[in-house]
Amino acid sequence: MPKARRASAGKGRWRAQTEHDMAFADAMLVETGRVLPMFVIHSAKASYAVLTGWRDADDKLAVARVIKLFCIAKNAEALSFVAEAWSAAMRRRIGESEAEFEERATSLAPSEREDREEVIIAETSWRERGEVRSFALMRVIERGADGKPSGTTAGPLPDADAIESWRSRWADLLPERAPRPMEVAMAELLLRAMPGTGITEIARDN
């Protein structure tokens, strides 16, 4: 099985972390045929993985609540996320107003579009100077004649290979400030009361 890595401290650390996460997801895709949604919570000394999944919007909300609690309980300084997704590029038509473009872009989910692409997204969000910043990579899934994934490539989507200032729904799960001791204790208490919420340490600084 591929092994997740923890980037070394220093300038560009979280971009490097995102690159590690994408390499991990690519290897997982080829080896197992899929990439399960995974969050990695990075504290000052260790990184912890949480494998997740969902069937609908309610499940996603439940996952978001649990991950936010883990971020508080582990005093996370960064949060990574990898998953498979559908993506589709849309361009504004000549003469189309911004409102018309927005309506057309949101009328169909990427998974329902004929020009959709299977992609892997790797994203990392971190605190810096009192705000949460994010960086992401997006790669298009390639399949062989047998339909099995053979790896990923940078596709024709706009900014497909590197997305600066990425801000997905998951970026907001990382608190903008370090939690207070009482908040850490409360998050730990709530997590203990939730059945089936597991977290695994995957890397630690020496």
- Number of domains within the chain: 1
pLDDT, tens only, 161-199: 455 555 567 778 899 899 999 999 999 999 988 877 778
Q: Per the domain annotation, does 93 fall within a domain?
A: no
Going by C-alpha positions, the residue among 162, 177, 169, 163 that lies closest to residue 132 is 177
pTM: 0.82
Instruction: Dump pLDDT digits (tens) for 106-163.
Output: 776 666 666 678 899 999 999 888 888 888 888 999 888 888 888 888 765 444 445 5
Query: Residue 68 is part of which domain span?
Result: 13-88+98-204
Is 1 a domain residue? no
Mean pLDDT of the chain: 83
Angstrom distance (rounded) from CA 84 to CA 110: 13
Does residue 40 form part of some domain?
yes
Is 31 a member of any domain?
Answer: yes
Residue 159 belongs to a domain: yes
